[in-house]
Amino acid sequence: FDNLPLLVSAGGTTLKVWNPLNGSCVLTFRTMHAKTITSICVLDIPYDEAEDDDNVANRKKRHIMTASLDGLLRIHSISNEDIAAGSLPFLHGMQFSDPLSALAISPDMSRVAIGSTTGIVTVHQRRALLSKQQDVKERREPRHGTYSYFMRGAHEKAHDPDDYLLLHQKKQKLAEYDSLLRKFRYGDALDKVLQQRQPQVVIAVIEELGKRRGLTIALSNRDEESLEAILSFTIRFIDDPKYSTYLIGVAHILCDIYGTLIGQSSVVDELFSKLRNKVTNECSAQRMLLRMLGQIDFVMTTAEIESAEEKTSRSV
């Protein structure tokens, strides 16, 4: 089978090896993966060039590499003897913390790219093959205080030309109101986001305060200046359908907390009066729309009944 192309398919945790020339299944093998296999690759790794073998096909080691949702990368042998024996011996494996979803091999079989479900891609490079005649000497750490210890690393290269250098990504800086929220300074966070005058951001902070049950804390203990900012924002956007769901609750809390202080500040009294007029006008408009909707429903229902009666009279 070394001279034939092979196709490998995976279903669940089972591998099947096919002969594409006649469409026959050569081997069915159940792997030791605990979860579904998501990606497979067939490797043709060459032997050492020093081996005397005239057949080029026999100079290759054929392996199957599988990646699964259990976070395991497994390499199996797929030689003629293995297919004849009906098994794929396990050779090597790697454990990853995240489930694996993709696997790819470079054309020269020197690099493998492994993708996980979290979006992280890891690239591994195969070590260069060493000839049998080359003597590999183990490097020993020189003793402390010697000249060799002082000069260690002086002639080493910074990095190999084939290495990939990954630049450290700078940590994204949090907005000031986000930092205040993390410190549980809810009132200061609300004041800071109101200064930006971006209603989407303000509503997002109000929603987050509601989830943390800190909206009442953020609206309490306010002076005239800080109370004016939140009241002005509420008056401006309380009739906006996108924000009314959140601002109605804010208006209720403001009335409960500062309702007894009416008459102590002319500015606050004027703002509460504007809020009342805005809510009154909006309620009147909603009631008028409901009446109009009821009238439209009555007209549509009457027309349907008359149409049904007319069809009945015609059939009779």
DSSP state of 110: S
Q: Output the pLDDT for position 157.
A: 64
Q: Output the pLDDT for position 165.
A: 66
Closest C-alpha to 63, from 88, 86, 84? 88
Please identify which residue in the block is written with the tokens 């929603």. Answer: 207
Q: Output the pLDDT for position 144.
A: 82
Question: For the residues 82-110, what does the mean pLDDT come to?
Answer: 84
Task: Give burial (CB, 10 Å; 0-12/13-18/19+) of 60.
Answer: middle
Residue 171 clears pLDDT 80, i.e. is over it: no
Structure tokens at 23: 């469409």
Residue 62 clears pLDDT 70, i.e. is over it: yes
Q: Output the pLDDT for position 79.
A: 77
Residue 33 clears pLDDT 90, i.e. is over it: no
Pairwise CA distance, residues 114 & 210, whole Å: 42
Residue 57 clears pLDDT 60, i.e. is over it: no
- Neighbour-count burial for 96-131, b at 16+ CB within 10 Å, e otherwise: beebbbebeeeeebeebebbbeeeeeeeeeeeeeee
Which stretches of 125-167 are DSSP H helices?
Answer: 147-150
- The residue ranking higher by pLDDT, 125 or 184, is 184
Q: What is the pLDDT of residues 264-299, one digit of tens each?
A: 888 889 999 999 999 999 999 999 999 999 999 999
Residue 136 clears pLDDT 60, i.e. is over it: no
* 164 half-sphere exposure, CB direction, 13 A CA radius: 8
DSSP state of 13: T
Q: Output the pLDDT for position 26.
A: 81
Q: Output the pLDDT for position 200.
A: 93
Confidence category of residue 51, pLDDT binned at 50, 70, 90 = very low
List the 111-116 sheet strands across, edge first: 100-105, 111-116, 121-125
Q: Output the pLDDT for position 174.
A: 85
The enclosing H or E element of 281 equals helix 266-315
Residue 50 clears pLDDT 50, i.e. is over it: no
- Neighbour-count burial for 270-297, b at 16+ CB within 10 Å, e otherwise: ebbeebeebbeeeeeeeeeeeeeeeeee
What is the C-alpha radius of gyration for the chain, rounded to an integer number of angstroms? 37
Q: What is the pLDDT of residues 156-169, one digit of tens each?
A: 666 566 666 667 77
Average pLDDT, the chain: 83
Q: What is the pLDDT of residues 210-259, one digit of tens each?
A: 999 999 999 999 888 889 999 999 999 998 989 999 999 999 999 999 98
Q: Output the pLDDT for position 52.
A: 47
Pairwise CA distance, residues 112 & 104, whole Å: 6
Confidence category of residue 53, pLDDT binned at 50, 70, 90 = very low
Q: Which of 79-88, 173-182, 189-198, 221-230 is predicted least confidently?
A: 79-88
- pTM, entire model: 0.44
How far, rounded to the nearest angstrom, does the alpha carbon of residue 57 sit from its chain's CA centroid?
44
Single-letter residue type at 176 = E
Q: Among positive and negative, which fits the CA dihedral 81, 85, 88, 92? A: negative
Q: Output the pLDDT for position 56.
A: 45
Query: Residues in the chain, how many?
Result: 316
Q: Residue 254 CB: number of other CB atoms within 10 A?
A: 22
